């Protein structure tokens, strides 16, 4: 499939998902023009705030390919990824993101992620979500164990 066809599939999934009770988002992960996995937004259907189309597609592609490294794949998403999905895309090492609707388009229909970008730019003590570090002297032991582990799989 060419890029237009892959994007049209992501768009088709997003439209179909609205009819099936989900949000208006769809994603396709492809390698060399072949669809590896798809995902749709199922946040409210599954009561899972992480069930965005891109994250669902990444999970499916990783399982299908039996790897967490999707660096030989591209993602086609019906909308510019939110901060969570963008983070997941970076962690999965996808080599390129193609998107149709923009984050401004999403904001116009009530999917506004700008507050997250605004919060991330603030010092931690100025954010709306309180965060408090604790028991670091105990937790650091896991990091020390990881650092000294000879047979770890780095990611």
Segment 62-111, tens digit of pLDDT = 999 999 999 999 999 999 999 999 999 999 999 999 999 999 999 999 99
Catalytic residues: 54
Question: What is the DSSP secondary structure assignment for residue 27, as one 8-state letter?
Answer: E
Segment 17-59, tens digit of pLDDT = 999 999 999 999 999 999 999 999 999 999 999 999 999 999 9
**Global pTM?**
0.91
Distance in angstroms (rounded) separating the CA atoms of residues 61 and 41: 16
Alpha-carbon distances, residue 130 vs 32, 126, 138 (angstroms): 44, 9, 22
């Amino acid at each position: 499939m060419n890029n237009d066809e892959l994007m049209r599939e992501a768009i088709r999934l997003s439209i179909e998902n609205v009819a099936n009770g989900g949000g208006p988002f769809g994603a396709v992960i492809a390698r060399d023009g072949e669809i590896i996995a798809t995902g749709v937004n199922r946040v409210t259907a599954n009561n899972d705030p992480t069930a965005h189309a891109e994250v669902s597609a990444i999970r499916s592609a990783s399982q299908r390919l039996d790897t967490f490294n999707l660096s030989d794949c591209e993602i086609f998403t019906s909308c510019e990824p939110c901060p969570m999905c963008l983070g997941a895309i970076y962690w999965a090492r996808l080599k390129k993101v193609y998107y149709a609707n923009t984050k401004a388009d999403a904001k116009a229909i009530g999917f506004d992620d700008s507050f997250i970008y605004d919060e991330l730019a603030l010092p931690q003590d100025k954010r709306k979500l309180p965060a408090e570090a604790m028991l670091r002297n105990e937790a650091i032991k896991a990091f020390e164990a990881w650092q000294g582990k000879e047979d770890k799989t780095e990611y």
